[in-house]
Amino acid sequence: MIGWAFRQLAIWGGIGLLLYAFAGNRLTQLLQHTAPADASQAAASGTPSAARAMPNSLVFHANAQGHVVLEGAVNGAPVQFLVDTGATVVALTLHDAEAAGISHNDLVYSMRFATANGDVRAAPVTLRELRIGQLVVNDVSAVVQENLFGSLLGQSFLTRIDSYEMRDGVLTLNYW
């Protein structure tokens, strides 16, 4: 009796696996045949589609100290950024701000930040364009901070892209 039950279990289990494989294969074929139509409809309507494209990615490796330092541009002027995922906003040195066309005379130091080096004053600004490689983000909130030794790429930029990930000393920026 037990042998008969195991045989039946094996037979019906095998039939179930075959049906599952067949249904999965048919579903895959169906999705492959409908994807081009969906992608062309999305392209025509101007809306993004998951079937149409994967996001672009930029990859940066940490230096020997574990920091990600990358070259960018603010309003067309070259700026070297230290990526700081803990910083609320992009912070520019006075020198980098002036190179980007932000006049020292136009700055109003109306903000205060508590940093590891104590309280510092900062002037809020809006960056017309912040470029990292081929990735461009317009109208980025930032500050010009007193006594800053290097410009910081913070959350006011990072949250404007589709996603970013820092893992094992590698920063990946993903965008459409």
Q: What CATH number does domain 56-175 carry, 2.40.70.10, 3.40.50.1000, 3.60.150.10, 3.20.20.70? A: 2.40.70.10
The predicted pLDDT at position 134 comes to 94
Q: pLDDT digit of tens for each residue in the chain (176 aa)?
A: 777 777 777 787 767 655 555 555 544 444 444 444 444 443 443 434 343 445 799 999 999 999 999 999 999 999 999 999 999 999 999 999 999 999 999 999 999 988 877 899 999 999 999 999 999 999 999 999 998 999 999 999 999 999 999 999 999 999 98
The predicted pLDDT at position 55 comes to 73
Phi-psi region of 67 (alpha: psi -120 to 50; beta: other; left: phi over 0): beta
- Domain positions in the chain: 1-52, 56-175
Q: From CA 98, how far away is CA 121, in angstroms rounded?
A: 17
In three-state form (DSSP H/G/I as H, E/B as E, the rest C), the secondary structure along 41-96 is HHHHHCCCCCCCCCCEEEEEECCCCCCCEEEEEECCEEEEEEECCCCCCEEECHHH
The predicted pLDDT at position 23 comes to 52
The predicted pLDDT at position 20 comes to 56
Q: From CA 85, how far away is CA 78, in angstroms rounded?
A: 21
**What's this model's pTM, rounded to 2 decimal places?**
0.69
The predicted pLDDT at position 1 comes to 75
The predicted pLDDT at position 3 comes to 77
Tell me the HSE value of 114 on the side-chain side, using a 13 A CA sphere. 0
